Chains A and B, each alone.
Chain A
Amino acid sequence: MKHVLELDGVHANIGQFQILQGVSFRVPEHQVTVLMGRNGAGKTTTLRTIMGYVRPRAGHIRMNGAAIGDLSTHQIARRGIAYLPEENHVFHRLTVAENLQMADRRARDGHHPERVERMMDLFGDLRRAWCRPAGSLSGGQKQMLAMASALISEQPVLLIDEPSKGLSPGYVHRLVEILQGLKGSRTVLLVEQNVWLAGQVADTFVMLDDGRTVLSGNMQELLQREDWQQQFLGVHATRGER
């Protein structure tokens, strides 16, 4: 199995705080890998370090075998990684149309109506809000716009940080459908606290605790191991954590 992303002993600081203290895992191609752990375990920092917002102090980050740890964020994005941060994932003052144009780097060559149309088919809400500022959308619509922005670029790798946070059940189910639809064509590294959602979409998991990788493996295995969930997440998926 080919691994698209590899992290090997990554350490990273934010200010004087040592957040990542040895994160190592591999993300298989065309699968959904979920990054889990309690609040403060280092999940978001891991994504931000992969994206170059945080410089790794030690360790290696590779994409398709090539080191990307020293690259700047825009260079990493150009290597083929789309990133959806947990918050501020859309440009609020730009219209829905402009948000998609920003995300679609190839749009500078001209408009690509077929890609835009695909997004409109996938996210019907956005068609109606085409000329509205993104800031006027509901939380769920913003999340869908962020997802559409990530997808329109057709980047092979997606890093998605807690997409279900604050969403209504209807949007969460929509999100699950979209993420399931990505399997087989995109490689996804997903940060998600919702064990039910993770169980619905993820093939593999990586568990972080106190800035270190403590477990990794098949998602189904995690769903069956209540002791792991209790120890590292403080929840039981089988009791309906939705």
Chain B
Amino acid sequence: MDVFLTLVIGGIGDGALYFLIAAGLTLIFGLLQVINFAHGGLYLWGAYMATFLYAVTHQFWLALIVGAGAGAVLGIAMERGLLGRLYHHGTNQILITMGVMLILSEFVKVPFGVNGLNAPTPSFLSHSWLVGHVVLVEYQWFTIVVGAMVYLVLHWLLRRTRLGMVIRAGVENAGLVEACGIPIRNVFTVVFALGAALAGFAGALAGPYFGSVTPGMGLDMQLTAFIIVVIGGMGSVQGALVGSLLVGVVTSFMSFYFPSLSVLVTVLVMAVVLLVRPQGLFGEARAAA
């Protein structure tokens, strides 16, 4: 039972981190119809910028903000400079975003080296407690709480604000939003920046969570986030949450009992979901614009 609880809590912690990156990916896909293969690169740069800044200043909150900001700045540059010219060109988008992903992964080695950086947990979040035989790690719980708060804020934004209403309308029919006099192109940029900021923020949290940042972490997380978004339904934030927790918990158990099959089982879960419900758990068939 203790092992079970430890694995569940660990899975939820991983899931909370996955959610932050998957939420951005699914928002961007939902509105812009862009499968952003560079999303992991934004996460990577968020992680490095935050880790570097924390090492220099020891200001954890500032590091989180700068990590999110790095993601947002790179995201806006990508959307305005590259993707804005390629909407409705699916193949080109995939190639471009994959190219950007490789560039971001390689370029991070120039200032920070090829071996990665240590990312210590801030002292005020580095406690752990033993309850029975279950170890509760403070930073893990911090990540879970942050993930839950981000979900609630996104839910509020999408359901209770005019911007959220415009985003939901744009996900369904961008052309009709334009006919309402709303410049959907600007909404695209806002959503891309928000998704990119979430990726950068996830990266900033991930450094202390895993203890280090490495140039390959973006590609690893990109694959996981993509699987989560497909499972949850592309465009659904709720789907991203459920998918993240599912993948987090499944991966946690598989890593403990059958480590070599961990990735395989995650992909199998995705395949089963696609067979039973091709649009994902919370995805919906889209109306033509």
Contact = CB atoms under 8 A, between A and B. Distances in A.
Interface of A: 51-53, 72-74, 77-78, 82-83, 85, 87-89, 91-94, 98, 101-103, 105, 108, 153
B184 A91 contact: no
Contacts of B1: none
Given A88-B287, A94-B165, A102 B177 contact: yes
Contacts of B62: none
Q: Give the 7 A-B CB pairs with smallest separation, nearest first.
A: A73-B178, A77-B181, A83-B179, A78-B181, A74-B183, A91-B169, A74-B178
Interface in B28-49: none
A77 B162 contact: no
Contacts of B179: 51, 73-74, 77, 82-83, 85
A89 B182 CA distance: 16
Classify chain B's interface size: 20 to 34
A82 B183 CA distance: 15
B289 A93 contact: no
Given A88-B288, A93-B284, A102 B178 contact: no
A154 to B, nearest CB: 12
B85 to A, nearest CB: 15
Interface string B143-186: 00000000000000000001001101101110111111111110
Contacts of B288: 87-88
Interface in B184-198: 184-185
Contacts of B180: 74, 77, 102-103, 105, 153
Given A74-B182, A92-B287, A105-B181, A98 B165 contact: yes
A91 B178 contact: no
A88 B176 contact: yes
A102 B184 contact: no
Contact of B176 (A72, A78, A91, A153): A91
B214 to A, nearest CB: 40
Nearest to B170: A91
Interface string B99-119: 000000000000000000000
Nearest to A105: B181
Contacts of A73: 175, 178-179
B183 to A, nearest CB: 5
Contact of A102 (B169, B175, B183, B185): B169
Contacts of B172: 91-94
Contacts of A78: 181
Given A73-B179, A91-B172, A94-B165, 8 more contacts: A74-B178, A77-B180, A85-B176, A88-B288, A93-B171, A94-B169, A103-B180, A105-B180
27 contacts: A51-B179, A52-B178, A72-B178, A72-B183, A72-B185, A73-B175, A73-B178, A74-B179, A77-B178, A77-B179, A77-B181, A85-B175, A88-B287, A89-B176, A91-B172, A91-B173, A93-B171, A93-B284, A94-B169, A94-B172, A98-B169, A101-B162, A102-B166, A102-B169, A102-B177, A105-B180, A105-B181
